[in-house]
Amino acid sequence: MQKNSLEKIGKDVIKFEINALNNLKKSINKSFSKIVKMLLNCKDGKIIISGVGKSGIIARKWAATFSSTGTPSFFLDASDASHGDMGQIRSKDVVILISNSGESDELKNIIQYVSRNKNIKLIGITSKRDSILYKNSTLALLMPLIKEAGPGNIVPTSSTTNQLALGDAIAIACMKYKNFTKFDFKKIHPSGSLSIKLKTVEDLMISGKKLPIVDENIKMKKALKIISLKKLGVLIIRKKNGLTSGIITDGDFKRIVNKHNKFDKLEIKKVMKKNPVTIEKDTLAASALSLMNSKKITSLCVHQGKNTKKTIGLIHMHDILQSNIN
């Protein structure tokens, strides 16, 4: 087989599945909204998702995506359910079963078990209106009946692509309805590259007693001792009312020493840099790094809310880079 022929097969399969997704898009109706609301209202029970074969793999992905976006869910193996794990399903739970045919034998036991308890809701995801799953579901979403991308219409391809996309659509709809933000996402993703990308200025800033703060009326001789003691290369200068009036860096000290004969008696407020660049504490650390690079500085004063003069912390470029943020 020619190389070009293999590339054509690949492109044809992707085109086939894109068409399947377009059909899925057209099938989204009020049932979708009802399913999302049922999941949002499941506060006293659990959300349990199951499927068989390739649909089972998709069901596991649904559960993972739901949980990571603020809708706690877990996967139930359909085979294990028939050997005792059915006991995980309790009153007030919502069970989602995914099956292209809606007739998988392993799911029938779950359907029967759920049907005996009116306090358990069953959501069916299938492409067959006359299936046992569709007929016994509290809510059902009828997937478009489509051909699979492979030869013979036997390998689950287009159907599982649609199932995967539908799960993402439901998860994101729940996420947006609950105003689940990137900061909520970070709380349940404390490790990995995602967590690093979502670190905020507050996560990395220096605060409290470690802050290199001095009064604007102190002399440069004393300020020099403090900046050497703090070892941060910068001092935050405050007025008596607690508001920040400026900053001074170790590089500024070196330049000022060469310019002023009476360096020791010089008040810091006369040589400080006024109106230092500040950043809000909830800003992503990556954005803080970008701001530093654009301003050609190595640290930022940190404020909370709209009061930019009320410094609550200091973030240094080194701290961001050490966290592998770039």
Domain boundary assignment for the chain: 3-180, 201-322
On the question of a common fold for 3-180 and 201-322, the answer reads no
CA–CA separation, 34 and 305 (whole Å): 38
CATH 3.30.70.141 fits 201-322, yes or no: no
| Neighbouring C-beta atoms of residue 90, cutoff 10 Å | 12
CA–CA separation, 320 and 309 (whole Å): 23
Give burial (CB, 10 Å; 0-12/13-18/19+) of 269: middle
Q: How far is CA 115 from CA 49, 71, 97, 102, 132, in A?
A: 16, 24, 13, 15, 11
Contact 306, 195 (CB under 8 A): no
CATH topology of domain 3-180: Rossmann fold (3.40.50)
pLDDT per 10-residue tile (average), the chain, 326 residues: 79 93 95 97 95 96 94 94 92 96 93 93 96 96 91 90 97 94 78 80 92 90 87 90 90 80 80 91 92 92 91 92 83
Question: Which pairing describes strands 299-303 and 311-316: parallel, antiparallel, or unpaired?
Answer: antiparallel
- Res 279: pLDDT: 95
- According to DSSP, residue 208 is labeled G
- Res 39: pLDDT: 97
